[in-house]
Amino acid sequence: MLININPTNGLAVYDQIARQIKFAVANRVLRPGDLVPSVRELAKNLAINPNTVARAYRELQAEQIIQTVRGTGLEITVAAPEICRNARQELIRLRLREVLEEAGRSQLSRTQVKQLFDKELSQYDETGNAS
Amino acid sequence: MLININPTNGLAVYDQIARQIKFAVANRVLRPGDLVPSVRELAKNLAINPNTVARAYRELQAEQIIQTVRGTGLEITVAAPEICRNARQELIRLRLREVLEEAGRSQLSRTQVKQLFDKELSQYDETGNAS
DNA sequence: TGTGCTGTACTATCTACATATTACAGTGGT
DNA sequence: ACCACTGTAATATGTAGATAGTACAGCACA
C-alpha cells in the first residue's frame, strides 16, 4: 500500500498522509498526472474517517501538490516534483535555523555549535544516499 | 524582575518560567543556596495562578535544579549550575540530531545537510559571545 | 437522464494540555 | 501554642487540535 499509518507516532494522521504523499512525489513514485487514492478508498484501507484523508488532501492542494479533477479525483500537479524536492530542503533549513536561534539564546558560541553539529553528523548513519 | 512572561509566545507560561530560571542559573545570576521567589509572590507579580508557578518549580525539582527547604522556600541546588550548563548543550545536541534524522528520512545527502548548516551558521548573528 | 462515483463544507465529539480553584500539610518565628 | 508564611496535592475549567458524522454539490459514464 502507498500509505502507512502509525497511530502512536505523535504525528497527526492527516499529517502522516500528507508527508508520505510528498515523499512519494519527491522520489518519483508518484508522477504528475497520477491520481492519488480517492478519499473514501484510502479512508477505508486505513480504517479512518474519510474527512481525515480529505484534510490531508486539502493541505496538499494548498501547497499545489495535487489538484482536483472534478468527478474523477485528485491528480499530482506538474509543479509537484519541484515543490516537494524544494520543500524538504527548506524544511531542513528552517529547522536548522531554529536550532541556531535557540543556541544563540543559550549563549552558545558559534564554534561550540559547529562542534556539536560535526560530531552529530559524523555519528549519524545515512539510510539513503552516499555522502 | 527576574522573570518575564510573554503570553503570546506559543510557549506555556510554566515552561517560560522554568527556562528563565535555568537560564539565570547557567549565567550565575542565581547561585547555589539562593532562594527562588515564593510560589505566591511570583504568581502575584506575574498576575498568574500560584499553581502555574508551582508547576514550573515542580519541573525544576525533578531536574534537581532547585530543592525544597520546608517552611522556608526553594533554593538553588549545588549541582544546578553544572546541570543547567550541560542541559542547554544537550538540548541543542538533541535538536541537531532530530534534524539530521529528518534529513536522512528525506534522503538528503550528508554533504547537502552540511552545506545548509554552514550557510545558516554564517548568516546567523550571535547575540552573545564571540565566535 | 439517472446512478455512482468524486471532493467539500459544516458541525459535533473526543482528547490532551495549560491554567485556575480550592483545600491541605509542614516549618519558622513570635 | 499560634499565626503567617512556605510548598503540594486533587480537582475543575477552559481551550486548541485532531478526528468523526452527516449532508451537500459536481462530474463521468452507461
| Residue boundaries of the structural domains of chain A | 1-124
Check CB contact under 8 Å for B93 and A104.
Answer: no
Task: Return the pLDDT at A125.
Answer: 64
Quick check: A128 contacting B, CB < 8 Å?
Answer: yes
pLDDT range class, residue B24, cuts 50, 70, 90: very high
Element housing A93 (H / E)? helix A80-105
Quick check: A111 contacting B, CB < 8 Å?
Answer: yes
C-alpha cell at A114: 559547529
Architecture category of domain A1-124 in CATH:
Orthogonal Bundle (1.10)
The DSSP call for residue B36 is P
C-alpha cell at A4: 502507512
How far, in Å, CA of A2 to CA of A8, rounded? 19
Quick check: A9 contacting B, CB < 8 Å?
Answer: no
pLDDT above 50 (res A80): yes
- Of the candidates B33, B46, B13, B43, the one whose C-alpha atom is nearest the C-alpha of residue B73 is B33
For strand D, give the nucleotides within 7 A of a protein CB.
4-10, 17-22, 26-28
pLDDT range class, residue A15, cuts 50, 70, 90: very high
The residue behind cell 528520512 is: B105
Contacts of B117 in chain A (CB under 8 A): 96, 117
Compute the mean pLDDT over every residue in chain B, rounded to the nearest whole number. 89
Nearest CA in chain A to B120: A97
Of B93, B113, B121, which is closest to A114 when you measure between CB atoms? Answer: B121
Architecture category of domain B13-80 in CATH:
Orthogonal Bundle (1.10)
The residue lying closest to nucleotide C5, measuring its CA against C1', is: A71
Nearest nt to the B39 alpha carbon by C1': D7
Task: Return the pLDDT at B26.
Answer: 93
pLDDT above 60 (res A126): no
Contacts of B93 in chain A (CB under 8 A): 116, 120
pLDDT above 60 (res B128): no
pLDDT above 90 (res A14): yes
Asked whether the ipTM of the predicted complex exceeds the cut of 0.90, the reply is no
Check CB contact under 8 Å for A93 and B120.
Answer: yes
Task: Return the pLDDT at A1.
Answer: 63
pLDDT above 60 (res A28): yes
Check CB contact under 8 Å for B95 and A102.
Answer: yes
**CB A91, CB A23: distance < 8 Å:** no
Count other C-beta atoms under 10 Å from residue B59's C-beta: 18
A48: left (phi over 0), alpha (psi -120 to 50) or beta: beta
> Among the listed ranges A22-31, A37-46, A97-106, B15-24, which one has the minimum average pLDDT value?
A97-106
Quick check: B10 contacting A, CB < 8 Å?
Answer: no
C-alpha cell at A52: 481525515
